[in-house]
């Protein structure tokens, strides 16, 4: 069984709609630009080059909401541009989308040559977000609704527009994540909205400030305001590299029990992947999800202190007192490694009665027991293990975690008869996928 893979969810209907809508918008804008000609060519070239530079600096990474913040800020600033050095512009919505699209594609050429080119979801999101901002801003500005860039209505209207643009970006990002993972769209959207306080708000603020600066000082403001964002992107890249190294170190520590023969190969990785999936289903995000992943990777590290290994590393079958002793030993080891103390707390409390545990410890306890039971049961083990967790004594496993685990397993396993649970046979439960 591979908990990390989610291959049985239904295809997301939003994905073809988003991609098709972005393609239609791009074609219409390109045609309109070719028919009407390019207005203020130097301005269009400057912003197109800025977007291209942002894409050249793009470094895709897992968990990064905006891999090209400079490109996104430059695209948004062009959509919100009304004046250049005090002179009104006339580029309109179609030219805005065309310039941003051209810059995005041009900046992606080196990435495509290396085999890690731009994804269709990223391109569709960029086109639709910029089109939305331009459609909301350009007609209103040209009709005088903003009373010029220095008018009293400019700031509140611009803030409202930035908020709507950020929400549009969150919806598109959640739709893309739903298509990739199959997780409920509502939960993904809430996570994206919570994350708007980070890189999304920085991109929106930088784009708006760039547009205002160009309106006053001209195109010279673009490189001035690009440098801080590039430096911030460089710092974030270094932070991401350090964090990746940190996670690899934790994963290596977790494999110590496998190398020593205390636990089966891949057990910690499987528990961590499934625990993260359950955590997302229950609404965990950000640092809480990271703590859960690290604790799940290191949940068995206390077994290194045992003289006699537990058969197959199956701690769920041990007496409660022995489980708590191993958990406390594991917490002590985690504290000595310098890992976040919150991880050690989860490892220490994974064997406590579930009502006394934090949510992360409840998840690790239930997922570890499920993985061990499903592995030992052989074919049909997934549903048998879930049933055993449901029928366990009241203090063993949190009911909401077990039900969340069942939902995750159903999403990862095809062949169920309905959405309520696995099919039953005369002699018990059978795994529809035919694998444990």
Show the DSSP H helices in 338-397 as ranges.
341-349, 359-377, 381-390
* 184-211 burial: b if 16+ Cβ within 10 Å, else e: ebebbbebbeebbeebbebbbebbbebb
What residue ranges do the domains of the chain occupy? 14-240, 255-429
Q: Tell which residue, 300, 356, 302, 367, has the closest CA to residue 329.
A: 302
If DSSP codes are grouped into helix, strand and coil, which group holds residue 115?
coil
Structurally, at CATH architecture level, domain 255-429 sits in Orthogonal Bundle (1.10)
Record the tokens describing residue 197, joined without a space: 């306080």
At residue 117, the pLDDT reads 60
d(CA 328, CA 316): 15
At residue 322, the pLDDT reads 85
Record the tokens describing residue 136, joined without a space: 């909301």
How many CB atoms within 10 Å of residue 148? 14
Record the tokens describing residue 10, joined without a space: 């239904």
At residue 18, the pLDDT reads 84
Half-sphere exposure of 65 (CA within 13 A, CB side): 24
d(CA 313, CA 198): 41
d(CA 205, CA 212): 11
Question: Which residues in the chain land under pLDDT 50?
Answer: 1-9, 11, 415-436
Read off φ and ψ for residue 265, nearest 5 degrees. Answer: -65, 135
At residue 419, the pLDDT reads 38
Counting beta carbons within 10 angstroms of the beta carbon of residue 74, is it exposed (0 to 12), middle (13 to 18) or buried (19 or more)? buried
The residue behind tokens 């930035």 is: 162
At residue 60, the pLDDT reads 59
d(CA 204, CA 154): 16
Q: Tell which residue, 79, 81, 61, 57, has the closest CA to residue 69.
A: 57
Read off φ and ψ for residue 418, nearest 5 degrees. Answer: -150, 180
- Between CA 47 and CA 53, with CA 48 as vertex, the angle to 5 degrees is 95
At residue 31, the pLDDT reads 94
d(CA 414, CA 1): 12
* Four-residue CA torsion sign, 212, 217, 223, 227: negative
284 Rama sector, left if φ>0, alpha if ψ -120 to 50, beta otherwise = beta
Q: Tell which residue, 297, 266, 279, 247, has the closest CA to residue 362.
A: 279
């Amino acid at each position: 069984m591979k908990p990390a893979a989610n291959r049985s969810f239904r295809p997301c209907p939003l994905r073809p709609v988003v991609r098709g809508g972005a393609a239609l918008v791009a074609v219409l804008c390109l045609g309109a630009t070719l028919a009407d000609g390019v207005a203020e060519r130097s301005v269009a070239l400057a912003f197109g080059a800025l977007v291209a530079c942002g894409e050249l600096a793009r470094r895709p990474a897992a968990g990064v909401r905006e891999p090209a913040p400079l490109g996104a800020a430059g695209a948004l600033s062009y959509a919100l541009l009304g004046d250049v050095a005090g002179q009104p512009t006339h580029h309109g919505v179609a030219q805005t989308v065309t310039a941003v699209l051209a810059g995005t594609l041009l900046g992606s050429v080196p990435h495509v040559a290396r085999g890690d080119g731009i994804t269709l979801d990223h391109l569709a999101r960029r086109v639709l977000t910029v089109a939305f901002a331009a459609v909301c801003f350009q007609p209103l500005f040209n009709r005088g609704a903003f009373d010029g860039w220095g008018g009293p209505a400019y700031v509140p209207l611009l803030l409202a527009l930035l908020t709507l643009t950020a929400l549009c970006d969150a919806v598109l990002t959640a739709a893309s994540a739903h298509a990739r993972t199959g997780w409920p769209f509502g939960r993904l959207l809430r996570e994206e909205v919570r994350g708007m306080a980070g890189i999304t708000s920085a991109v929106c603020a930088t784009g708006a400030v760039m547009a205002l600066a160009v309106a006053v000082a001209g195109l010279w403001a673009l490189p001035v305001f690009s440098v801080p964002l590039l430096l911030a992107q460089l710092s974030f890249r270094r932070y991401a590299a350090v964090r990746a190294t940190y996670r690899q170190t934790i994963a290596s520590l977790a494999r110590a029990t496998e190398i020593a023969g205390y636990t089966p190969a891949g057990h910690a990785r499987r528990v961590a992947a499934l625990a993260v999936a359950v955590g997302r289903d229950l609404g965990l995000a950000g640092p809480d999800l990271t703590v859960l992943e690290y604790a799940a990777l290191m949940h068995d590290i206390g077994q290194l202190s045992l003289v006699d290994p537990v058969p197959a590393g199956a701690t769920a079958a041990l007496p409660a007192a022995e489980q708590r002793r191993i958990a406390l030993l594991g917490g002590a080891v985690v504290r000595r490694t310098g890992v976040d103390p919150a991880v050690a707390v989860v490892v220490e409390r994974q064997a406590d009665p579930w009502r006394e545990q934090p949510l992360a410890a409840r998840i690790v306890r239930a997922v570890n027991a499920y993985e061990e039971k499903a592995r030992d049961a052989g074919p049909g083990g997934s549903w048998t293990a879930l049933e055993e967790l449901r029928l366990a004594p009241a203090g063993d496993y949190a009911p909401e975690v077990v039900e969340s685990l069942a939902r995750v397993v159903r999403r990862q396993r095809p062949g169920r008869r309905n959405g309520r649970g696995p099919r039953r046979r005369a002699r018990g439960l059978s795994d529809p996928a035919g694998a444990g």
